[in-house]
Amino acid sequence: MSALDRALTIEDLRRMARRRVPKMFYDYADAGSYTESTYRENETDFQKIKLRQKVAVDLNNRTLASTMIGQPVTMPVAIAPAATGGMQVADGEIKAAKAAEKFGIPFTLSTMAVCSIEDIAENTTKPFWFQLYVMKDRGFIERLIDRAKVAKCSALVLTMDLQILGQRHKDIRNNLSTPPKFTPKSVWQMATRPAWAFGMLGTKRRTFRNIVGHVTGADDLSSLSSWTAAQFDPSLNWADVTWVKNRFGGPVIVKGVLDADDAAKAVDAGADAVIVSNHGGRQLDGAPSSIRVLPEIVDAVGNRTEVHLDGGIRSGQDVLKALALGAKGTYIGRPMLYGLGAGGEAGVTRALNIIQKELDITMALCGERDVNNLGPHNIYSNDLVRRQGY
């Protein structure tokens, strides 16, 4: 039995990743902003929701197949965009995209990925999704959107919650950069992870390839970090959603909504779906968990648009709870990154298999056969789930 086969939970994959990935990159993934309270609550709030067991139901012919923004998915779990996936393992985003494609779920590539839009397009056969950060250089953003169109991306995920970076103490303490600076500490971290280091030596993909070579002023790496830090546009507003949508001409999913009024504004501006998200607890520390605010956002806009959720999903049980509370789809960030660190493409496949099996068995034990029939009847109401009907 391989080490990956012995991993039974996402937590097992996390521990494997910690042993295989240099500390600064492992810490980058396993971090929230400031006190990390929102990061922790994303996970612990799921545990407060209790499932209703139902018995004596015919459990034959179960299905997890569904749709997200009208696109078929083998289970309603997409890969969330994550910067520097290609630093958890060499060519990480290509590996995660391949795993997602074979599994039949959407892969979302981050603007701040190591592998470029073109790298993913060349190494996959089905359309993927592209996540957009809006920067001040609108000429660059127009070209980025056009590159996503040329690559036949079937949706844009527009992130609204990171115009200013929430501070993550670990990254500052680790002096994090991509690619890493060669200091005695970083060289030690990499030398003690030889499989990772050999992988990195064998790839040319070690910087932000959606950006480098596509903007003036960010051609060499020292200028790149200052370019990106200065580039996120603090004036981003709802009118930009319409602007992005018109330029792209396809579905736009608005990511980073935690408030019912904001969700309504996103839909008014043309969003085809909203993702209830606090960026995995990496931005506003002290914000509620995503699962806690999901019901009020479903109440506000659920009849006008699809509501998706990310943040804290570590099991199929968590996916089921989100669907029961009205999410049409979910995303995994860290489970994918831990899978990459633990075993590259096979590690991401393992993460997806774990979640799929947990979701299927949990659904059956709730007396359900079709993931599309999950609803408030599957859970008990409590302080998290107070609203009428739940």
Ligand X SMILES: Cc1cc2nc3c(=O)[nH]c(=O)nc-3n(C[C@H](O)[C@H](O)[C@H](O)COP(=O)(O)O)c2cc1C
Q: Which residues of the chain form contacts with ligand X (CB under 6 A)?
A: 28-29, 42, 80-83, 110, 112, 131, 159, 255, 277, 279-280, 282, 310-313, 332-334, 337
**What does the buried/exposed string (b/e) look like for 275-303 if buried means 16 or more CB atoms within 10 Å of the residue's CB?**
bbbbbbbbbbbebbbbbbbbbbbbbbbbe
Q: How far apart (Å, rounded) are the C-alpha atoms in residues 196 and 321? A: 36
Cβ closest to ligand X, residue 33 vs residue 131:
131
Rg of the chain in Å (alpha carbons): 20
CB of 361 to ligand X, least distance (A): 21
Cβ closest to ligand X, residue 4 vs residue 29:
29
**Considering only CA atoms, which of 287, 146, 140, 165 is closest in space to residue 234?**
165
CB of 390 to ligand X, least distance (A): 23
Q: How far apart (Å, rounded) are the C-alpha atoms in residues 76 and 53? A: 22
Contact by Cβ (8 Å): 324, 375: yes
Q: Which of 169, 214, 279, 308 is catalytic?
A: 279
CB of 55 to ligand X, least distance (A): 32
Is 279 assigned a catalytic role?
A: yes
Cβ closest to ligand X, residue 66 vs residue 289:
289
Nearest residue to ligand X by CB is 333
Q: Is 281 left (phi over 0), alpha (psi -120 to 50) or beta?
A: left
Q: How far apart (Å, rounded) are the C-alpha atoms in residues 363 and 318? A: 11
CB of 138 to ligand X, least distance (A): 19
**What does the buried/exposed string (b/e) look like for 139-156 if buried means 16 or more CB atoms within 10 Å of the residue's CB?**
ebbeebbebbbebebbbb
Task: For the beta carbon of residue 264, count every other beta carbon within 10 angstroms.
Answer: 17
Amino acid (1-letter code) at residue 269: A
CB of 131 to ligand X, least distance (A): 5
Cβ closest to ligand X, residue 166 vs residue 333:
333
Cβ closest to ligand X, residue 30 vs residue 360:
30
Active site residues: 279
